[in-house]
Structure 1
C-alpha cells in the first residue's frame, strides 16, 4: 500500500469565468478547509459544497462537477460525510471528492478495475485516487474517461 503522488504540471487548472462560484460566507470550514455541508441529496447540496470550497478549489470543484455531468448525463448527486458523491442512482456511488489543505482528493470507488486507473493507492484495495493541486493542469479528457469508466462499474452503496 503506497501513496503515490501525481506530478505537478506547470500551469494552473484551466477554468472559465462562468465556472467560478462565489464562496458562501456562512459555511464552516473543517480541518484542511473542507466545507461543512449538511447531508443532502440532489444538485443543491453539491453546489453549496462547491461554493464553499476555499480559494482556487471552488473553481476546480465547479469544473469537476461540469465534467462529471457531461460524462454521465443525469448523474445522481449527494453530499455525505462533508463530501460530494456522484452515482448512477441514489445510493449507488462511483466517485467522491474531498478538500484537503493543499489539494483536492478525488476517489474512484472501483478505480482499480479501470483501464489506466488513477495513480494514487492507499488502504482500500479497490479505490484509486487522483489528487489535484493548485498548480496542476487538469487533463479533462483523461478525467472524463475515468468518470465514464467508473460510472459503468458496480458502485459503492452508502
Structure 2
C-alpha cells in the first residue's frame, strides 16, 4: 500500500517544500502551497514585485522564491514561517528608509508580514525598485 500525497510538504516552521527551479512556474507553485492566509500574502507580494519590476527574474532556491534582475542579480527572497511571511532584502541596509527587521548579516534587512496586517504597497514597491538597482548575487 502506498501513501498518497495531497500536495507539497510543509517543512518545520510552515515553509512549503518546493523543488528548485527557474521561472514563474516554481514561484507560483510555492505561493499556491503557502498555508492558509499566507498564500494570499504571497500573491500580493508577487504581484507588487512584478508591477515594480516588469521583467523581474524568478526562481525557487532553498525552498524560497527569489526575485532578481539580469543586470544586478538576486535582490529579494520570501520565506514562510508559522506566524508570518518574511521578505528578505539581500542588500536592504542600502535602502532608504531601512526595512524594519535587522539581520545577523550586516547587509540584509527584513520585513515580516503577520496575519491581518496591511501591506504598505507603496513602500514595498519603493523598496523593491531600490533593491533591484543594487548589484547582488548573480542569477
Please give the TM-score of this superposition, normalised by the length of structure 1.
Answer: 0.82
Structure 2 CA distance for aligned equivalents of residues 152 and 32 of structure 1:
31
Q: Deviations over 1:60-116 (max 9, x none)?
A: 000000000000011000000000000002992000010000000100001001110
Partner of 1:21: none
The one of 11, 15, 26 aligned to 1:30:
11
Q: Give yes or no for the alignment of 1:155 onto 2:136.
A: yes
The one of 49, 67, 72 aligned to 1:68:
49
Q: Give yes or no for the alignment of 1:125 onto 2:125.
A: no
CA contact (8 A) 2:76 2:88 kept: yes
The one of 60, 65, 90 aligned to 1:79:
60
CA contact (8 A) 1:110 1:153 kept: yes
Deviation at 1:156, TM superposition (A): 2.3
Partner of 1:40: 21
Higher relative contact order structure (alpha carbons within 8 Å, sequence separation ≥ 6): 1
Q: Name the CA shift for 1:90/1:56 in 2 (closer, same or farther; >3 Å).
A: farther
Q: Name the CA shift for 1:91/1:145 in 2 (closer, same or farther; >3 Å).
A: closer
Q: Deviations over 1:12-54 (max 9, x none)?
A: xxxxxxxxxxxxx411110111000000000000000000000
Q: Name the CA shift for 1:91/1:116 in 2 (closer, same or farther; >3 Å).
A: closer
Query: Which consecutive segments of 4 or more residues in structure 1 shift more than 4 A?
Result: none
Number of aligned residue pairs: give it: 134
